[in-house]
Chain A
Amino acid sequence: MTTETIIWLLPLPPLLAFFLIVLFTNKHKAFSHSLAVGAAGLSWLGSMLVFVRALGVHEFGKEVFESAINWLPTGSTWLKIGVLIDPLSAATLFFVAWTVLMIFVYSVGYHNFGQPAGDHDRPGLPPHGATVEEHGHKHVVPSIEPMYSRFFAFIGLFACGMYTLVVSDNLLTLFVGWEIMGLCSYLLIGFWYGKESARNAAIKAFMTTRVGDVFMLLGIAFLYSATGTLSFREIFRPEVLHALATTATPFFGLSAAGFIGLLLFIGTVGKSAQWPLHVWLPDAMEGPTPVSAMIHAATMVSAGVYMVIRMFPLISAGWEPGMPLNPTMSIIAFIGAFTALFAATIAVAQNDIKRVLAYSTISQLGYMIAALGVGAYVAAAFHLITHAFFKALLFLGSGSVIHGMEHGVLHTGDHSIDPQNMFNMGGLRKKMPITFWTFLIGGLALSGFPVLTAGFWSKDEILADAFGHGHWAVFATLATAAFLTAFYTMRQITLTFLGEPRTKEAEHAQETPWTMTLPLVILAVFAIGYGWVGIPEHFPLIGGILPNWFHEFIGGTLFEVPEAVPFSVWPLLTSLGVALGGLFIGWLVYRKVKSPKQDFLQIPVLKNKWYFDEAYNFLFVRPAYWVSETFTYMFMDRAIIDGILHTFGRVALWLGSFLRNYFDKPVINEFIADGTGNIVKKAGSSLRRIQVGRIQSYMLVSLVVVVLFAVLYYFLIGGV
């Protein structure tokens, strides 16, 4: 089978799994997860095949796998859609395939396959445990998720959306995949729809990303009207880019390329939860943990960054390394760096294990976007991929921890203990060793622990790029954020795993089944190893042993491979300092902290996320409700529109009764109908009096008539 055919088919297995589960296997849990995992496995196999073949192509980047068909007729031309695997999408396909498959396998264990149905579990609410009797002794075990198949259907559809986005060669199908994932994000965040917080979070996520999507669609429309095409290879031709970069728009003095880039970037701000559209991602932790891992770590938010990396030639049109940044890039760099620091400050004050990771995700996405803003194309892509691995690992690990804690909660029966609150944990390294070691690896990767973890290599490259091109503000912001990252990560690890259990529930935690720990181990391998494919050439001691394969490979996506930034010791030292320093200080501070009261970082403004939710509620949500409930419903709909309709009704009724009483009854009924009858009646009763019954009268009458006829005959007709 040709590579292009395989690429076309990659989004198909998960989509088929979705339809088959929805239509046929909803009641059969084993069939459903087999379909879903099998489909993910098929797409994984296809992706690996494509990736290996891509590796084998010489000068991949100039030579790509592409295939397009004519789709929409537009006058004398066609809008084409198709697939494209160039180095960027090949690398993305690699990590998407692995993370999706790992998360699908993990979900089987997470939703407690094989366990009995719960005592009072209802679809729409999280499962709460089943009482089983073993040797005369009752205890509560975790129960299977009632909506098991539905989950696999939704993540199947989601995976289809992501694959569509990655393989597409044009903005239109990319947007289709983008929106499919937006929909599935809504469905999955609100998976436990019985909880009001989940419903609200789902709506919030959808609405917020919608804001971004509207601007992105405007950008796509503008791009199409300016160039007549949406295919990447056609837009990124030098002459098209040059034309776009030199056309002015009436907006803020931006060129067409800059303005389109900005509009598309706003889509990413929404999708990848950058400030100011970051508010949906922490609330999205209402969804089950595999959802958080997939959507909000490995794939969907990565899609936003992928898109902006993909559109880098457009955003940087007219810019060369060494020049000052053009306005769009400056905005991107600012938002990225700001978000990185902003989210990190909030993360240090969160107590829910998933919230810390949520804000961490926002922060790391800010890193990637800041990198792109300063022109560090390869570094941004590198961090995207390593982040996907270790963040998915961390989320899945947190899910494992939560499962372990829930086991303890079921054991003690005390449901007031929140299994997600880190202050209720402690000492879990002894109870859940595999989870501990993999989580530690993930956390060290996130912090940028030197050499051994992938996160170090990608983060270091971003810092080096920012430093090397003289973007001091971005460098300083990112370095500070790196310090905070290491700090809150170590805080998280210390509170969760180290020390002694702080609650009885933590004492009764136990390790999770192989379906959950195996993906953790596999992802940990990548979290360590993936960094070694991108070691800069001039790195002290180790540089040069392995070629910097990643830089050449991804750099080949662009028209010219970007030059690697010359090595400088300062960013390396900074990076080492903040990472190791943050980890050490975090450990030092938090090994003594046993409760939130002892945590000096529980500052209200940080805990309450800088009050952005409240601000948005006041500025946008309440006015929106007012417009819909009061203005539109009361004024427009009930008063005005219904008023008009009621008036029409009243006029019609009046007209009807008028016609009835003044025309129908008197004229038609009385005059015409009754009148005719009356005339006939009267004529009849008058004329009948001729019938007297006496012969002689009849004979007299007939004599008169005969004489009359005779006279008439004589005078009129003539004759004798």
Chain B
Amino acid sequence: MSIPLSWFLVLSAALFSIGLFGVLARKNAIAILLGVELMLNAVNINLVAFWRYLDPAQMAGQVFAVIVFAVAAAEVAVGLALIISVYRRRKTVVADEVDLMKW
């Protein structure tokens, strides 16, 4: 239609990269989770774009996106619980400082 599919894909890729950058480069563990969330959302945009432009009649694309949301929510919950547990033990949320499983 009026907006080409490729714009959505580029958006999705850009968001994914920003999210990936955030995961790799942020110090704070919660910021890393934010980055993960961003990646999941970028993936969602990708999914919905392909659904809308290639086969709108099929319901599977929408369902897939809803599942991804649910999983992302659950995963954030678990992740935050882990971070709180680590904080209680190590008194820090800086990812670099949780490095006990090393050589």
Contact = CB atoms under 8 A, between A and B. Distances in A.
Interface of A: 688-696, 699-700, 703
Given A688-B103, A691-B103, 17 more contacts: A691-B101, A691-B102, A692-B99, A692-B102, A693-B98, A693-B100, A693-B102, A694-B95, A694-B96, A694-B99, A695-B32, A695-B98, A696-B24, A696-B95, A696-B96, A699-B24, A703-B20
B65 interface: no
Interface string B35-76: 000000000000000000000000000000000000000000
B15 interface: no
A243 to B, nearest CB: 109
A693 B20 contact: no
Contacts of B100: 693
A688 B23 CA distance: 24
13 contacts: A688-B103, A691-B103, A692-B102, A693-B99, A693-B100, A694-B95, A694-B102, A695-B95, A696-B24, A696-B25, A696-B95, A696-B96, A700-B24
A698 to B, nearest CB: 10
B33 to A, nearest CB: 12
Interface in B17-37: 20, 23-25, 32
B27 to A, nearest CB: 9
A703 B102 CA distance: 20
B13 to A, nearest CB: 14
B78 to A, nearest CB: 15
Contacts of B96: 694, 696
B interface, size bucket: 10 to 19
A689 B24 contact: no
Nearest to A684: B103
A696 B102 contact: no
Contacts of A692: 99, 102-103
Interface of B: 20, 23-25, 32, 95-96, 98-103
B103 to A, nearest CB: 4
A700 B96 CA distance: 13
Contacts of A695: 32, 95, 98
B99 A703 contact: no
Contacts of A694: 95-96, 98-99, 102
Contacts of B98: 693-695
Contact of A693 (B25, B32, B101): B101
Contacts of B24: 696, 699-700, 703
Q: Which of A688, A690, A696, A700 has the most CB of B within 10 A?
A: A696
Contacts of B102: 691-694
A697 B48 CA distance: 32
A114 B101 CA distance: 108
A696 B23 contact: yes
A696 B20 CA distance: 11
Nearest to A687: B103
Nearest to B20: A703
Contacts of A696: 23-25, 32, 95-96
Contacts of A699: 23-24
A416 B22 CA distance: 133
A570 to B, nearest CB: 135
A689 B100 CA distance: 13
Nearest to A685: B103
Q: Which of A690, A691, A692, A693 has the most CB of B within 10 A?
A: A693
Nearest to A694: B99
A696 B98 CA distance: 11
A704 to B, nearest CB: 11
Q: Which of A691, A695, A700, A703 has the most CB of B within 10 A?
A: A695
A697 to B, nearest CB: 9
A690 B100 CA distance: 13
A614 to B, nearest CB: 101
A693 B98 CA distance: 7
Contacts of A700: 24
Nearest to A692: B102
Contacts of A693: 98-102
Contacts of B32: 695-696
A233 B58 CA distance: 134
Nearest to A688: B103
Contacts of B23: 696, 699
A693 B103 CA distance: 8
Sort A-B residue pairs by CB-CB distance and give the 5 closest, nearest first: A693-B102, A693-B99, A688-B103, A691-B103, A693-B101
